[in-house]
Amino acid sequence: MELRSWLRDFVAIRPIPTRWGHAIQGGVAVLLPGLVFVVIGRPELALAASNGGFLALYLGGLSRTRRARLLPILGAGLFAAVALALLGAQAGAAGAVVTVSVLAVGATILTVGWGVGPPGALFFVLLAGAFSTLGVQELEAEGSIDFASVLGPLAVGLVLAYAIVMLPLALPSVRERTGLAPGRNARLSFSLRGEALVIVVRVAVAVLVAAIVGLLLGEDRAYWIVLTVVTVLQTSVRRRMSAIRAGQRLVGTLLGLGIFALLALLPLSALTLLIIIFVLQTVIELVIARNYGLALIFITPLALLVATQSDPSDVGAVVGERIVDTVIGATIALVVILVEHAYVVRRAR
C-alpha to C-alpha distance for 152 and 86, rounded to whole angstroms: 13
Report yes or no: 213 and 332 within 8 Å, Cβ to Cβ: yes
DSSP code at position 59? T
Pick the closest to residue 187 from 78, 59, 289, 76 (CA basis): 59
pLDDT in tens, the chain (349 residues): 466 776 777 777 878 777 888 889 999 999 999 999 999 999 989 999 999 999 998 998 888 888 999 999 999 999 999 999 999 999 988 999 999 999 999 999 999 999 898 889 999 999 999 999 889 888 888 888 999 999 999 999 999 999 999 988 877 766 556 544 444 444 568 888 888 999 999 999 999 999 999 998 877 789 999 999 999 898 877 777 788 888 888 888 999 999 999 988 888 888 899 999 999 999 998 888 788 888 889 989 998 887 665 455 677 888 888 899 999 999 999 999 989 878 777 777 6
Instruction: Write down the pLDDT at residue 121.
Output: 94
Distance CA 25, CA 156 (A): 17
For residues 215, 219, 224, 226, the Cα torsion angle rounded to the nearest 10 degrees is 40
- CA distances (Å), 318 to each of 20, 33, 332, in order? 33, 27, 21
Return d(Cα 48, Cα 127) in angstroms, integer.
9
| Cα–Cα distances in angstroms (integers) from residue 56 to residues 61, 67, 116, 168, 314, in the given order | 12, 10, 13, 13, 32
Comparing C-alpha atoms, which of 159, 126, 160, 158 is closest to residue 52? Answer: 158
Residues 184 and 115: their CA atoms lie apart, in Å, by: 10
Give the angle subtended at the CA of 174 by the CAs of 169 and 175, to the nearest 5°: 65
Q: Give pLDDT, residue 311.
A: 52
Domains of the chain, residue spans: 16-175+190-348
pLDDT of residue 182: 43
pLDDT at position 186 is 47
What's the pLDDT at 108? Answer: 97
